Amino acid sequence: MPRRIVLALLVLALLGLVAVAPTASAASEVITHRVTTTADTVNGGDGLTSLREAVLAADEDGADSRIVLGIDATYLLTRCAPEAPDLGQQGSLTTTNPFAVPTSEADGFDLEVQGRGSTIEQTCPGETVWRQLAYSHLLLRDLTVTGGESSGVYVASGFGVSAYDVTFRANSSPSNGGGLLVSGGGSGTLVRTTFEGNQAPSGGGAWVNGPVTVRNSTFSGNGEVGAEGGAIRSPNEVNLRDTTISGNTAASGAAIFAGSVIVYNSTIVGDLAAPGGAIRSTGNLLIAATIVQPASGAACDVAGTPVSNGWNRTPGANDCGIGSGTSDQLATVALGPLAANGGPTQTRLPRTTPGPGQVSVVGAMLVGTPHCDQGGSDQRYVEVPQGSACEIGAVEVPNPFSDVGAGNLFFAEIAWMDDAEVTTGFPDGTYKPSSGVTRSAMAAFLFRLSGDEGSYTPPGAATFPDVSTAHPFFLEVEWLEDSGITGGYDDGTFRPSSPVTRQAMAAFVYRFEGEPLFTDPAAASFSDVGPGHPFFSEIEWMADEGISAGYVGGTWRPSLNVSRQAMARFLFVAQDVGNVD
């Protein structure tokens, strides 16, 4: 770190302007600031770090920075007017970073905000929740942004934003981007995001000047009468896949208004698009395996060339360029309401039995068609294809296990376990989500997730007396020991049938990830896991990475046995950090 930055931080600390010093990792070159109070203060002098103080400290880093919020906390922004001593932080949370003002996304530093299930709510009239005026890229994770009246999040000209597991709810703007506004040429990557009830004359949900990539997300109730781009507005390209857009409003482009549009495997239904289309493209449109069914107005309004790659469904006129092929159909699809049907975001389930004048898309694409054989998963991370056919739209109806319905809280994670071949369940077709995870099953999960199947050779003799070469998990247990993830018990046994506790799971996952460099926080995050706990570091790392947020009430319950459905969640989040596809 440059000397002037170190001196500046020392001065701020001596003056009491920064309550807790940041921690830095030389390997990652990321400086971390942990928020330890929900109070909206600056220079509180209370030995705690507020969110505003963390933003101020990050501005002085001159490096990639990370701000880590508390678990499931609510941060009310109440500092609405200058207060003495004032550091220019009131109203919106604003990053300026005088040491790193980039000229483009390729230049400058990155800022990551780890929400850990928390909410930032703006209470000051006419203010944004978060204004990004510096850094080359803003990365938001596991966060809810609400109450902004000049956009929920504003990212300045030329800089990019990525949002993973973020909810933009009930924000507004008098101009562009009710939930999210990215000006200049900045790009947007939105994965497992929810835009709900945001309003603006243009881009009610999101307005992004550069190209936009959207995956596994839901937009509902955004926009306003007379607007353009009720859910998404971009003069550039919008690339949408495995996403639901439902119940948005605009005069033109109630779902999407963009320079060009690519839509695959999505459900765009119930948007009020009068008089323009649900999808408005000033350039071209490429669409496949998608349902476009507006509540009013045309399905599509395309200035350029609309091209169908097949297997689309829309009622009325052929205004999306579909219907000429045998796989396309002009029809009204039977769908359930927008609801929590499993997975990270809400969806509309296809109905098997259609009503009068409707068709069903369940099993509409047989295996052998391009969009059914491409593999991957749906919006809920359910494997595609399932059985001999696929559904059109964002949702696959079948699920891999008979005892895991779409309403299961861990439906998406368990479906991913099957899709990634981490587990095949039990011979009777069940997953037994509430059953405990044994140590031998844990070994199997991690071995399959590692990618070492087919390349690992076990020793000729067994390492543990209770896991012989004939044991069904001999290979997996030996790999676990060879990888340094566990050495067994002091008596030399492995105890393959013993249950895995939450603290043991934390140690397994931490070591599986290569024991990443991590600095313990000064204060414990959980009341039942203090600094003297033998697994304190591993559990704090799990919390810091957002893999486990603990229980309501601030406990972690380290001695509790891990259920198979909870293990699916832990492994899904651990491997999914940074994934877009």
How would you write the pLDDT of the chain (581 residues) with one tens digit per residue? 333 333 333 333 333 334 434 444 434 478 999 999 999 988 767 889 999 999 988 888 777 889 999 999 999 999 998 765 555 578 999 987 644 444 444 445 688 999 999 999 999 999 999 998 876 789 999 999 999 999 999 998 667 899 999 999 999 999 999 999 999 888 999 999 999 999 999 999 999 999 999 999 999 999 988 889 999 999 999 999 999 999 999 999 999 999 999 999 999 999 987 777 899 999 999 999 999 999 988 899 999 999 888 888 988 766 787 755 568 888 899 888 898 888 899 999 887 667 788 888 877 887 877 778 766 899 999 888 876 778 899 998 766 788 886 557 777 678 778 877 888 899 999 999 999 999 999 999 999 998 888 899 999 999 999 999 999 999 999 999 999 998 899 999 999 999 999 999 999 999 998 888 888 888 899 999 999 999 999 999 988 888 888 888 899 999 999 999 999 988 888 775 433 33
pLDDT computed for residue 407 by the predictor:
58
Find out whether the peptide bond into 275 is cis, omega within 30 degrees of 0. yes
Look at residue 7 in the predicted model and tell me its pLDDT: 35
Residue 7: DSSP 8-state: H
Structure-token pair, residue 120: 């930032």
Q: Using the structure block, give the residue that is written with the tokens 């501005």.
A: 59
Residues 6+ apart with CB under 8 A from 515: none
For residue 164, the surrounding DSSP H or E stretch is strand 160-169
Where exactly are the structural domains of the chain? 1-120, 439-576
Q: How far apart are CA 244 and CA 190, in angstroms?
A: 13
Burial 152-179 (b: 16+ CB within 10 A, else e): bbbbbebbbbbbbbbbbbbbbbeebbbb
Q: How buried is 47 (Cβ within 10 angstroms: 0-12 exposed, 13-18 middle, 19+ buried)?
A: exposed
pLDDT of residue 267: 97
Cβ neighbours of residue 7 closer than 8 Å, sequence gap 6 or more: none
**Sign of the C-alpha dihedral, residues 195, 200, 201, 203?**
negative
Is-above-0.85 flag for pTM? no
Q: Which residue has the tokens 């939450």?
A: 502
- Is residue 163 within 8 A of residue 186, CB to CB? The reply is no
| Cα 81 from Cα 535, distance rounded (Å) | 44
Structure tokens at 293: 């069914």
Determine the straight-line distance between the first and last CA of the chain, rounded to whole angstroms.
Answer: 35
126 is written with which tokens?
């006419």
3-state SS, 235-250, equals EEEEEEECCEEECCEC
